Amino acid sequence: MSEKINLTAALRNDAKLNLKEKLSIVAALSMPAILAQISEIVMQYIDAAMVGSLGADASASIGLVSSSTWLINGLMSACAAGFAVQAAHAVGARHYDRARKLLKEGIVISGIFALLLTAAGLVISMYLPQWLGADQSLWHDATAYFAVFSAFIPMRVYATLGVQMLECTGNMKTPAKLQVLACFADVVFNFLLIYPTRTITMFGTSFTMVGAGLGVLGAALGTGLSVVTAGLPLLYITCIKSDVLGLRHDTSSWKPVADDLIQARNIAIPMGCEQAALSLAQVISTRIVAPLGTIAIAANSFAVTAEAICYMPGYGIGSAATTMVGQAVGAKRKDLARSFAWLTTATGMILMGSISLLMYFICPWVFEFLTPVEEVRVLAEEVLRIELLAEPLFAASIVASAALRGAGDTLVPAVLNLVSMWGVRLTLAWTLSKTMGLKGVWIAMASEICFRGILFLIRLKREGWLKRLQD
């Protein structure tokens, strides 16, 4: 029996689940998303190594604008969540017609939003490296990377909507498989686009490998094409093949309903403001790092890439948490909503803590793989080990926030994130960077992550997010 049927059946039958059964549902929904996130990070490692072989400047150019790409990704996710969270509630209540209507509304609004983001991104790309205070030698590549990223925003927006809508129905496997496909496609496209035509020797045989030799621009194009490779089948499965969401026999109007838009606004705007403020804080953090030099920028970028293998499982579990809590709320099962929120948060903390402990010891070999520059490797290793100690509480903030999102609680988590990032991280980072350089920035990051994790555990414990449900 699939994980979708298990969860749906439990809600439909008003089943009283024991701990083992709840953990089984958590595992079944979490594992595909976790594996997809891990595969994505492994491919990002390979991607970073490809760019890293071009030198510190190439890595620094991409690292410079990475926080800005996170900003746009966060806004896209918030827009999709406005409709996907409502769809999860509808699925939990077995109102499948409403779920399909929400998909249509999401397609219309996301299309408009995508065009606005694309236009803004293309204009901003010309000025972004200078705004971030980078050395002029990085401007050309950084601008090219961000401009190409922006050109593919429409496909990214619809891929994000497709992933979240499928996950809201309990279908975690299809998005996971297509995410793996995107990662492999990214490596293939990068291999062909980054490097020039060259002679490769394997097993004693030499042959000519055709390449475009586009460098950083090739990395941006490769990533964009990989999104298209996975995004098109994702949209087909979501809109046509899905048993719950498929529109092939749906006759409802494409015109958005005012009440749905109001609810989407109430969910998405706090999330969007939160993501914007968090990513803007990351941009400012990049601005703090930029004057520290190319080595510091590159080391910061590689340390962030290496850390991702630790926290991406948390985002996988978070996706499952949003689905489980969302459907439990839709079914008016307060007991399950509470249990799933705590079980997923605890699972995330244990898993991320274990992976970060392993990373603490193996990170020297990770950085040897990512870059040949010794100075970059040493500094990246030093700063990453500072932050790894905070990973369990980072997990608490990631998964608890996702669980709260499933209940439609986005305003208070947004406030908590803003207070933490702007009141703690940036203040400390700016102060400590003056005397401790990049190490000070990462000490500030670790301190803020611990503070934020505690705030989210308190929010989860107080249960204000469950007030809309009756026992």
Each residue of 144-177: pLDDT tens digit? Answer: 999 999 999 999 999 999 999 998 888 888 998 9
| 350-364 b/e (C-beta count within 10 Å ≥ 16 → b) | ebbbebbeebeeebe
pLDDT of residue 143: 94
Chain segment 85-100, per-residue pLDDT in tens: 999 999 988 899 999 9
Which pLDDT band holds residue 263 (cuts at 50, 70, 90)?
A: very high
What pLDDT sits at residue 469?
A: 62
* 286 pLDDT more than 80: no
Query: For residue 471, is pLDDT > 70?
Result: no
Cα separation values, 356 from 7, 104, 390, 394, 396, Å? 31, 41, 9, 11, 14
Banded model confidence at residue 20, pLDDT cuts 50, 70, 90: confident
Q: What is the DSSP letter of 421?
A: I
Q: What number is the average pLDDT over the span 408-422?
A: 89
Q: Please, what is the Cα angle at 211 between 208 and 212, to 5 degrees?
A: 150
* Percent of all residues in the chain with a pLDDT value above 90, rounded to a whole number: 44
Does 249 have pLDDT greater than 50?
yes
Higher pLDDT, 419 or 20: 419
User: Tokens standing for 317?
Assistant: 């579990």
Q: What mean pLDDT do residues 416-431 have?
A: 90
Window from 41-45, 94-98, 304-308, 359-363 with minimum mean pLDDT: 41-45
135 SS3 class: coil
List the one residue out of 144, 77, 68, 84 whose CA is nearest residue 114.
77
In the prediction, which pLDDT does 1 show? 35
Is pLDDT larger for residue 446 or for residue 319? 446
pLDDT in tens, 198-236: 777 777 787 787 888 888 898 899 999 999 999 999 999
pLDDT given for residue 5 in this prediction: 43
> Which amino acid, 317?
I
Whether the Cβ atoms of residue 300 and residue 134 lie closer than 8 Å to each other: no
Burial class from Cβ neighbours inside 10 Å (0-12, 13-18, 19+) for residue 224 reads buried
**pTM, rounded to two decimals:** 0.79
Q: Residues 327-354: what's their mean pLDDT? A: 91
Token pair of 12, please?
């439909």
Residue 248 has pLDDT above 70, yes or no: yes
The pLDDT of residue 12? 57
Q: Is the pLDDT confidence value at 447 over 90?
A: yes
What residues does each domain of the chain span?
A: 3-466
pLDDT at 470 over 60: no
Please name the amino acid found at residue 459.
R
Q: What is the CA radius of gyration of the chain?
A: 22
Distance between CA atoms of residues 77 and 171, nearest Å: 18
Q: Identify whether the C-beta of residue 222 lies closer than 8 Å to the C-beta of residue 46.
A: no
Cβ-contact 221, 67 below 8 angstroms: no
> Per-residue pLDDT for 315 more than 90?
no
Q: Report which secondary-structure segment, H or E, holds 200.
A: strand 196-202
Arithmetic mean of pLDDT, 288-307: 85
